[in-house]
Amino acid sequence: MTLTTLTRDQLLAKSGVLLVVDQIQPPSGPVAKGGVPVLKPRELGLFIAVNDDGQVYGFNGHVDLGTGIRTSLAQIVAEELDLALEQVCMVLGDTDSAPNQGATIASATIQITAIPLRNAAAEARRFLLDLAARRLGVEPQSLVMDSGVITSADARQLTFAELVAGERHVLGISGDAPLKPVEDYRLVGKASARVDIPAKASGELTYVHDMRLPDMLHGRVIRPPYAGLDSGEFVGTSLLHVDESSIAHIPGIVKVVVIGDFIGVVAKREEQAVKAAQALKVSWKAWTQKLPDMDDVAQAIRDNPRVRRVVLDKGNVQQALDQASERMPRTYLWPYQIHGSIGPSCGLADYQEHQIRVWSGTQNPHLLRADLAWLLEYPEERIEIIRMEAAGCYGRNCADDVCADALLLSRAVGLPVRVQLTREQEHVWEPKGSAQLMEVDGGINADGGVAGYDFQTSYPSNGAPTLALLLTGRVEPVAAMFEMGDRTSIPPYDFEHLRVTINDMAPIVRASWMRGVSALPNTFAHESYIDELAFAAKVDPVEYRLRYLHDERAAELVRATAARAGWVARTEPMQTPEQDNILRGRGFAYARYIHSKFPGFGAAWAAWVADVAVDRLSGEVSVTRVVIGHDAGMMVNPAGVRHQIHGNVIQATSRVLKERVTFEESTVSSKEWGAYPILTFKQVPKIDVLMMPRQHEPPMGAGESAGVPSAAAIANAIYDATGIRFRELPITPERVLAALKLSQDEAAAGADPQPVKGKRSKWWFAPLIAGIGALAGMAATALPWRAEIAPITPPVAGTWSAATLERGRLLAAVGDCAVCHTAPGGVTNAGGLAMQTPFGTLHSTNITPDPETGIGKWSYTAFERAMREGISRDGKHLYPAFPYTSFRNIDDADMQALYAYLMSQAPVSQPATSNAMQFPFNLRPLMAGWNAIFLRSGEVKAQPQRSAQWNRGSYLVNGLGHCAACHSPRNLMGAQKGGSAFLAGGMVDGWEAPALNGLSKAPTPWTEDQLFSYLSTGYTDAHGVAAGPMGPVVTELAKLPDSDRRAMAVYLASLSGDALAQPEPGPAAPQVSTLALSNGQRVFEGACQGCHADGLGPKLFGVSPSLASNSNLHSALPDNLLKVILQGIPVPATADLGYMPGFKDSLSNRQISELTAYLRQRFAPSEPAWQSLEQKVAQIRANPGSH
Amino acid sequence: MSDHTLAPVRTVTLHVNGQPVVVSAMADTPLLLILRNDLQLNGPKYGCGLGECGACTVIIDGVAARTCVFPLSGAEGRTITTLEGLGSRAQPHLVQQAFIDEQAAQCGYCMNGMIMTAKALLDRIPHPSEAQVRNELSANLCRCGTHLEIIRAVMLAARQMP
Quick one: fold of A1074-1182?
Cytochrome Bc1 Complex; Chain D, domain 2 (1.10.760)
Task: Give how far B16 is from chain A: nearest CA, Å.
Answer: 15
Nearest to A203 among B8, B42, B146 (CB): B42
Interface touch A271/B48, C-beta < 8 Å: no
Which residues of chain A neighbour B108 with C-beta distances below 8 Å?
A: 66, 196-197, 200-201, 206, 389
For A208-290+340-430, give the CATH class: alpha beta
Read out DSSP for A842-879?
A: EEPPP-S--TTTSSTT--HHHHHHHHHH-B-TTSPBPP
> Domain ranges in chain A?
8-201, 208-290+340-430, 434-743, 770-939, 1074-1182
Q: Is A678 on the interface with B (CB under 8 A)?
A: yes
Among chain B residues, CA nearest to A277? B4
pLDDT, block means (10 residues), chain A with 1187 residues = 68 95 92 89 96 95 92 96 96 94 86 92 98 97 97 97 96 95 95 96 98 98 97 96 98 98 98 98 89 96 98 98 97 98 98 97 96 97 97 96 98 98 98 98 97 98 97 96 97 98 98 97 98 98 98 98 98 93 97 95 97 96 98 96 98 98 96 97 97 95 96 98 97 95 65 38 34 37 65 80 88 85 86 76 89 91 88 83 81 89 91 72 53 52 89 87 83 68 83 85 80 93 88 87 92 74 48 85 96 93 90 92 96 94 97 97 92 95 84
User: ipTM > 0.85?
Assistant: yes
Read out DSSP for A970-1020?
A: B-TTSPBP-GGGTTS-EEETTEEE---TTGGGSSSPPPHHHHHHHHHHSEE
**Cα(A27)–Cα(A759) distance, integer angstroms:** 65
Q: Is A341 on the interface with B (CB under 8 A)?
A: yes
**Cα(B81)–Cα(B15) distance, integer angstroms:** 8
Interface touch B109/A390, C-beta < 8 Å: yes
Interface touch A1098/B6, C-beta < 8 Å: no
Which residues of chain B neighbour A649 with C-beta distances below 8 Å?
A: 145
A208-290+340-430 and A434-743 share one fold: yes
In terms of C-beta density within 10 A (0-12 exposed, 13-18 middle, 19 or more buried), how is residue A733 classed? buried
Nearest to A1186 among B1, B84, B105 (CB): B1
What integer is the mean pLDDT of B29-43? 98
Could you tell me the CA-to-CA distances from A1092 to A91, A135, A1010 in Å, in that order? 45, 73, 20
Nearest to A672 among B33, B48, B55 (CB): B48
Nearest to A202 among B88, B106, B140 (CB): B88
Element of type H or E holding A11: helix A8-13
Task: Give how far A960 is from chain B: nearest CA, Å.
Answer: 24
What integer is the mean pLDDT of B133-153? 98
Q: Is B121 on the interface with A (CB under 8 A)?
A: yes
State the pTM of this model.
Answer: 0.89
Among chain A residues, CA nearest to B42? A203
User: Which one, of A1112, A1120, A1004, A983, lies nearest residue A1060 by Cα?
Assistant: A983
Interface A:B, Cβ pairs < 8 A: 271
**Domains (ranges, CATH) in chain B?**
9-85 (3.10.20.30), 87-159 (1.10.150.120)
Interface of A with B in 342-381 (CB under 8 A): 342-344
Q: Considering only CA atoms, give the Rg of chain B.
A: 16
**Cα(A526)–Cα(A537) distance, integer angstroms:** 16
Residues B95-135: tens digit of each pLDDT: 999 999 999 999 999 999 999 999 999 999 999 999 999 99
- Could you list the beta-strand ranges (E) of B30-112: 57-60, 63-66, 79-81
Residues B76-90: tens digit of each pLDDT: 999 999 999 999 999
User: Which one, of A128, A123, A183, A184, lies nearest residue A151 by Cα?
Assistant: A128
Pairing of strands A498-505, A157-159: unpaired
In terms of C-beta density within 10 A (0-12 exposed, 13-18 middle, 19 or more buried), how is residue A41 classed? exposed
Interface of A with B in 271-290 (CB under 8 A): 271, 274-275, 278-279
Which residues of chain B neighbour A270 with C-beta distances below 8 Å?
A: 33, 36-37
Estimate to the nearest angstrom the gap between the alpha carbon of A269 and the chain centroid. Answer: 23
For A8-201, give the CATH class: alpha beta
Element of type H or E holding A603: strand A601-615
Pick the CATH number of A434-743 from 3.30.365.10, 3.10.129.10, 2.40.110.10, 3.40.50.300: 3.30.365.10
Q: Is the peptide bond before A37 cis (omega within 30 degrees of 0)?
A: no
Which residues of chain A neighbour B128 with C-beta distances below 8 Å?
A: none
Kindly tell me if the per-residue pLDDT of B60 is higher than 90: yes
Which residues of chain B neighbour A197 with C-beta distances below 8 Å?
A: 99-100, 103-105, 108
Pairing of strands B19-26, A840-843: unpaired
